[in-house]
Amino acid sequence: MRKISEHPCYNKDAQHKYGRIHLAVAPKCNIQCNYCDRKFDCVNESRPGVTSEVLTPQEALEKTRQVLKDYPFIKVVAVAGPGDPLANDETFEALELIKNEFPDVTLCLSTNGLALPDRIDDLLRVGVSTLTVTLNAIDPEIQAQIVDHIAYKGKSYTGVEAAEILIKNQLEGIKMAVEAGMVVKINTVLIPTINRDHIVEVAKKVRELGVFIMNIMPLICQAKFADMEPPTNEERKEIQALCEPYVQQMRHCRQCRSDAYGLLGKDLSQMSEERRNVIKMESIKKMEHEE
Q: Strands 19-22 and 74-79: what pairing?
A: parallel
Longest dimension (CA), the chain: 57
pLDDT for res 43: 36
Beta bridge partners of 147: 33
What distance in Å separates the CA atoms of residue 27 and residue 193, rounded to the nearest whole number? Answer: 30
pLDDT for res 230: 93
Residue 147 phi, psi dihedral angles, 5° rounding: -105, 125
Please give the average pLDDT of every successive group of 10 residues along the chain, which has 291 residues: 73 75 93 80 44 88 94 90 94 97 95 97 97 97 97 97 98 98 96 96 98 94 90 96 96 73 70 66 64 57
With CA atoms as reference, report the closest residue to 188 among 259, 108, 112: 112
Contact indicator for 4, 31 with CB cutoff of 8 Å: no
Residue 247 phi, psi dihedral angles, 5° rounding: -155, 140
First to last CA, the chain: 22
pTM over 0.75: yes
pLDDT for res 251: 85
With CA atoms as reference, report the closest residue to 60 among 86, 89, 22, 88: 22
pLDDT for res 46: 42
Query: What structural domains and CATH numbers belong to the chain?
Result: 2-286 (3.20.20.70)
With CA atoms as reference, report the closest residue to 148 among 39, 226, 36: 36
The three-class DSSP label of residue 263 is strand
Strand order in the sheet with 266-267: 213-218, 183-190, 128-134, 106-111, 74-79, 19-22, 261-263, 266-267
What distance in Å separates the CA atoms of residue 49 and residue 223, rounded to the nearest whole number? Answer: 12
Whether the link from the prior residue into 103 is cis, omega within 30° of 0, is no
Contact indicator for 220, 47 with CB cutoff of 8 Å: yes
What distance in Å separates the CA atoms of residue 254 and residue 77, rounded to the nearest whole number? Answer: 17
Residue 6: exposure state from Cβ atoms within 10 A (0-12, 13-18, ≥19):
buried
pLDDT for res 271: 57
pLDDT for res 276: 66
pLDDT for res 267: 65
272's torsion region: left (phi>0), alpha (psi -120 to 50) or beta? beta
Alpha helices in the chain (DSSP H): 2-5, 57-70, 89-101, 116-126, 140-146, 159-179, 199-209, 233-243, 273-290
